[in-house]
Amino acid sequence: MSEPPFRLSVGLGVTLDEGHVRDLRAALAESGNDSLLVERHTRRGVSWRIDLGEAQRPDELFRRLAVLGEGVARVIAGIVRAQTGGAPAGPYEAWVVLSLCQKIDEPDDPRQSGISIDEDVVAWAALAGAAIDIDQYVYVD
């Protein structure tokens, strides 16, 4: 496989106004990562994500997440609270997801199996109010 098999991002299923974007960019800038916030225009509107990139193993991506720090997680949680008025969000109302994607082209290769998520990753996701989603795509001939 020529491209790295793992990709990690934080998807934001919330409406970001200018103030939210400014706050989130400022929190990302504190960790030197202000360029990671990606805006995408779709048929349904605008979606946002923090793109942590690709790597050969997920551990490197989880280290990038740790560098974002608690400040970014707290800003994300605050945005969701502001959007929902502090009440628990209903389905599809407001969501945050830490998404790890893996491409597998050699299912028998031990380097392509097994994903371990450190407690620091789980703690960051909990602080941000994020679900953790793992998508694995198997490509074989």
Give percent of the chain with pLDDT exceeding 70.
94
Q: At what angle do helices 18-30 and 58-84 cross, to 10 degrees?
A: 150
* AA letter at 63: R
Q: What is the arithmetic mean of pLDDT over 5-11?
A: 95
| 3-state class (DSSP) for residue 4 | coil
Q: Where do the DSSP E strands lie in the chain?
A: 6-13, 37-42, 45-55, 95-104, 131-138
CB atoms within 10 A of CB 41: 8
For 97-119, what is each residue's pLDDT tens digit?
A: 999 999 988 888 887 777 889 99
Please tell me the pTM assigned to this model: 0.88
Tally of residues, the chain: 141
Q: Is the pLDDT of residue 128 over 90?
A: yes
Read off the tokens for 32.
């030197």
Give which of 81, 90, 96 is closest to 49, Cα–Cα: 96
CB atoms within 10 A of CB 121: 21
* AA letter at 14: V
Q: What is the arithmetic mean of pLDDT over 115-124?
A: 93
